[in-house]
Amino acid sequence: MDLSTFIVAVFCLIDDRLKGHRFRQRGPAPKLSDSEVLTIEVVGEFLGIDTDKAIHLFFRRHYREWFPALGEIHRTIFSRQAANLWKLKERLWQDLLLLAPHDPTFALVDSMPLPACLFARAYRCRRFRGEAAFGKDTLLKQTFYGFRVHMRVCWPGLITRLSVAPANAHELCVLPEIVEGTSGLLIGEYATTIRQRPRKGWLEARA
């Protein structure tokens, strides 16, 4: 599938699931529709473009005729609209999970660091003050400032749950949120039952 066909397919998939839903109670409709913003984000991430600035620039340069409103709005407006659609993205993600083949009863749980800034700036950083914290990056064997992303990954590699917690939050504290409403076998580096009985390597979570 070529890129142009892929963009059209992603837009149709998203737009069909947004039809009939009203997400704004007041205010004018945005110049760039929510379906267009989500399509640009999804395709941009698929292409490995990791920042809103770079995604906006790529589509404005190469697909402006497909998304004419990109020429009328500033990058910050695009970024703000994309960020405000987080609840809608979560709903779409859960809808699409039902269409993706996976085994919900067999999963892995793990986490990865999400730095808020460079370590040298951590003590001066005001970003996420009161929410971010210092934690250990076990892979790089160093301290970082920010968060940890905890994920539940079902066989054969589909992320079905995730949670962002301060970097110093223990994985066992986040585990009940990750397994809520699920059943089956969960494997992790360090795990426990919901009754907080430590058992390294395995966890059986029942709804």
Give the start-to-end residue ranges of the domains of the chain.
3-97, 103-205
Which pLDDT belongs to residue 193? 38
Q: Are strands 103-115 and 184-188 parallel, antiparallel or unpaired?
A: parallel
Euclidean distance between CA atoms 86 and 82, whole angstroms: 7
Euclidean distance between CA atoms 45 and 176, whole angstroms: 29
- The Cβ-side half-sphere exposure at 111, using a 13 Å CA radius, reads 28
How sure is the predictor about 135, in pLDDT bands with cuts at 50, 70 and 90? very high
Bridge partner list, 133:
146
pTM: 0.72
Tokens at residue 66, please?
């497909």
DSSP H or E segment with residue 59: helix 52-62
Tokens at residue 37, please?
């913003």
Q: Is the pLDDT of residue 196 over 60?
A: no
What's the pLDDT tens digit per position in 82-130?
999 988 898 898 888 888 999 989 999 989 999 998 888 888 888 788 8
Alpha carbon 29 to its chain's center? 25
Euclidean distance between CA atoms 135 and 115, whole angstroms: 9
Q: 185 — alpha (psi -120 to 50), left (phi > 0) or beta?
A: beta
Secondary structure of residue 128 in the 3-state scheme? coil
Q: Is the pLDDT of residue 52 over 80?
A: yes
For CA atoms 14, 15, 19, 24, the dihedral sign is positive
Average pLDDT over residues 67-80: 90
